[in-house]
């Protein structure tokens, strides 16, 4: 998709899965989170390579070694009546930063949003990750207004909400 010096940004291919999972583990380590379990790793690989895929992934390589990735998928805006490209993850190994790899990954996602006729691109930035937030703002991104709060249901809470909907 994109190349910057010896950096290549392209869609994830089957041979990239091990490197992709290594990068996800590196992100978990960077954010002080538990890495995906063996079962989750299997689902990630299967979902990335499914037809159609459940999400899309870009891999960034430097001298043929995986150094970064981005995961995205589409949502839909009823008010714009257009799809939204949602960027779930973007990560570059700390030792590979400062070479424009993150900007190349981000730009490739923006290009994909344009190719898909998306009305916007959205993602979340972790409060306190000043480097990432500064990067986004440097690219021209604006934080959403403070009136919106992100929420999540998972595990037992998700099951309980399903139970309420069924009964």
3-class secondary structure, 20: helix
Among candidate residues 30, 69, 72, 136, the one labeled active-site is 136
Which helix (H) or strand (E) segment holds residue 148: the answer is: none
If one counts every other C-beta atom within 10 angstroms of the C-beta of residue 55, the result is 16
Contacts of 83 (CB under 8 A, 6+ apart): 74, 75, 76, 77, 116, 117, 118, 119
Q: At what angle do helices 17-30 and 38-49 cross, to 10 degrees?
A: 130
Is 136 assigned a catalytic role? yes
Q: Decide: 121 and 85 in contact? Cβ < 8 Å.
A: yes
Contacts of 75 (CB under 8 A, 6+ apart): 83, 84, 86, 122
CA 99 to chain centroid: 19
Contacts of 81 (CB under 8 A, 6+ apart): 119
Active site residues: 136
């Amino acid at each position: 998709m994109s190349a910057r010096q010896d950096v290549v940004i392209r869609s994830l291919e089957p041979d990239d899965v091990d490197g992709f999972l290594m990068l996800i583990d590196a992100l978990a380590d960077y954010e002080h989170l538990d890495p995906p379990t063996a079962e989750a790793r299997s689902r990630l690989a299967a979902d990335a390579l499914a037809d159609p895929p459940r999400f899309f992934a870009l891999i960034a390589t430097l001298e043929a070694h995986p150094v970064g990735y981005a995961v995205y998928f589409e949502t839909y805006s009823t008010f714009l009546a257009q799809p939204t490209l949602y960027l779930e993850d973007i990560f570059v190994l700390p030792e590979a930063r400062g070479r424009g790899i993150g900007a190349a990954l981000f730009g490739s996602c923006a290009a994909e949003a344009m190719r898909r006729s998306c009305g916007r691109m959205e993602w979340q930035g972790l409060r306190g990750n000043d480097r990432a937030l500064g990067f986004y703002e440097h690219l021209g991104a604006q934080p959403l207004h403070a009136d919106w709060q992100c929420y999540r249901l998972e595990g037992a809470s998700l099951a309980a909400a399903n139970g309420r909907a069924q009964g």
